[in-house]
């Protein structure tokens, strides 16, 4: 069985372009606002969505995603909301994965979590703090549910380790563009391209680049060599800083359209 994500990556490869993958935490900017924002992203031409499971101790995230997670958690977002949001995106017709720190999965039960992702139309899960050494149970759970297992690799990852991690990935490999936490940067680090090339030399899997991507120029640059461009903090920042939700959604559409154009200009 192939997932929607795998079908998407196949399609964008055929179209000779990169996919634009947007990240938003469930329940942000509000429970209702989250659905509106996702509709805006879908209509603007975003290819796939990562739904973030907001977490109390997000050590990989910069101030913007921290703020969004805090807002979402204050409104009571839990596993059920994450799965409902996932299902909402699935019904919009987009490929959708969940991005979550490990503890919410551990608490929910890895098998149950994986099968719920599959049942609600999700393609897979990105686990930024699950190391392959701790992933035995998760591998079994995701295999049984037939969903994608996406790990994040970093510029500091050694060749030997890169091979071991990439071998356990499916759907795509998440390449962190730099050493650091999430949040927009003005330029893309040269480390990103090097890392993508290292992955290409050992695997046929699509590679998506994330961390620090916020502009059309950056999207275009990354789309020149990667299969996917992941944008999170930049979208969230627009929603956080807008004077009201309506303005925020209008600006979100504008930014999304820019980035959608950007990933089509890369090659």
Partner 1 sequence: MTPSIQPEILGHFGPYGGRFVPEALIGALDELEAAHISAIADPTFQAELRELQLTYTGRPSIITEAKRFAEFAGGARILLKREDLNHTGSHKINNVLGQALLTKRMGKKRIIAETGAGQHGVAAATAAALFGLECVVYMGEEDTRRQALNVARMKLLGAQVVAVKAGSRTLKDAINEAMRDWVTNVESTHYLLGTVAGPHPFPTMVRDFHKIIGEEARDQVLELTGRLPDAVLACIGGGSNAIGIFHAFIPDTEVKLIGLEAGGDGVETGRHAATLTGGTVGVLHGTRSYVLQDENGQTIESHSISAGLDYPGVGPEHAFLLDSGRAQYRAITDDEAMNAFATLCKTEGIIPAIESAHALAGAMIIGKEMGPNSILLVNLSGRGDKDVQTAADYFKIDLA
Residue 114 or residue 176: which is nearer to partner 1 going by CB?
176
CB of 66 to partner 1, least distance (A): 6
Judged by CB under 8 A, does residue 105 bind partner 1? yes
Dihedral pair phi/psi, residue 150, rounded to 5°? -115, 120
Among candidate residues 6, 47, 61, 116, the one labeled active-site is 61
Rounded Cα distance between 47 and 243, Å, is 28
Q: Which two tokens stand for residue 247?
A: 């303005």
Peptide bond into 34 cis (omega under 30): no
Instruction: By CB under 8 A, name the one of 39, 45, 102, 225 that touches partner 1.
Output: 102
Question: In which element (H, E) is residue 260 found?
Answer: helix 245-264
CB of 133 to partner 1, least distance (A): 5
Judged by CB under 8 A, does residue 106 bind partner 1? yes
The helix-helix angle for 31-44 and 233-241 (nearest 10°) equals: 120
CB 61 within 8 A of CB 181: yes
179-198 residues near partner 1, rule: CB under 8 A: 179-181
3-class SS at 209? strand
16-55 residues near partner 1, rule: CB under 8 A: 55
Annotated catalytic residue 50 = yes
Annotated catalytic residue 143 = no
For partner 1 (CB under 8 A), the number of binding residues is: 41
Residue 26: HSE in the Cβ half-sphere, 13 Å Cα cutoff:
25
Find the angle CA(84)-CA(90)-CA(91) to the nearest 5 degrees.
Answer: 90
136-165 residues near partner 1, rule: CB under 8 A: 151-158, 161, 165
195-224 residues near partner 1, rule: CB under 8 A: none
Judged by CB under 8 A, does residue 122 bind partner 1? no
Instruction: By CB under 8 A, name the one of 110, 121, 128, 210 that touches partner 1.
Output: 128
Among candidate residues 6, 50, 81, 227, the one labeled active-site is 50
Which stretch in 37-45, 178-186, 226-234, 240-248 sits in contact with partner 1 by CB under 8 A? 178-186
CB of 121 to partner 1, least distance (A): 21
The string of DSSP codes covering 132-189 is: GGG-HHHHHHHHHHT-EEE-EE-TT--HHHHHHHHHT--S-EEEESSSS-SS--SS--
Strand partners, 173: 207
**Radius of gyration of the CA atoms of the chain, in A:** 17
Which stretch in 62-70, 138-146, 196-204, 213-221 sits in contact with partner 1 by CB under 8 A? 62-70
CB of 161 to partner 1, least distance (A): 7
Strand runs labelled E in the chain: 19-25, 48-52, 95-99, 124-126, 148-150, 152-153, 173-176, 207-210, 228-231
CB of 183 to partner 1, least distance (A): 10
Q: So which residues are the catalytic ones?
A: 50, 61
List interacting residues with partner 1 (CB under 8 A). 55-63, 66, 70, 73, 78-79, 102-108, 128-131, 133-134, 151-158, 161, 165, 176, 179-181
């Amino acid at each position: 069985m192939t997932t929607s994500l795998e079908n998407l990556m196949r399609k964008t490869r055929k179209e000779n372009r990169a996919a634009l993958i947007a990240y938003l935490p469930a329940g942000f900017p509000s429970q209702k606002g989250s659905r509106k924002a996702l509709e805006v992203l879908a209509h603007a031409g975003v290819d796939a969505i990562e739904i973030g499971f907001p977490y109390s101790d997000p050590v990989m995230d910069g101030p913007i995603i921290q703020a969004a997670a805090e807002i979402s958690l204050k409104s009571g977002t839990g596993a059920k909301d994450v799965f409902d949001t996932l299902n909402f995106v699935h019904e919009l017709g987009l490929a959708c994965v969940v991005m979550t720190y490990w503890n919410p999965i551990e608490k929910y039960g890895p098998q149950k979590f994986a099968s719920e992702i599959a049942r609600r139309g999700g393609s897979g899960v990105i686990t930024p703090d699950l190391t392959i050494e701790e992933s035995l149970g998760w591998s079994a759970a995701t295999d049984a549910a037939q969903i994608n297992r996406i790990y994040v690799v970093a510029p500091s990852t050694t060749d030997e380790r890169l091979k071991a991690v990439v071998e356990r990935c499916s759907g795509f490999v998440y390449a962190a563009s730099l050493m650091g936490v999430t949040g927009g940067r003005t330029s893309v680090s040269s480390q990103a391209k090097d890392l993508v090339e290292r992955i290409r030399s050992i695997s046929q899997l699509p590679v998506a680049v994330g961390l620090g991507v916020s502009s059309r120029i950056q999207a275009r640059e990354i789309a020149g060599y990667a299969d996917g461009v992941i944008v999170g903090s930049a979208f969230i920042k627009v929603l956080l800083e807008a004077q009201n939700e309506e303005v925020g959604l209008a600006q979100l559409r504008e930014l999304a359209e820019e980035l959608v154009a950007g990933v089509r200009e890369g090659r």
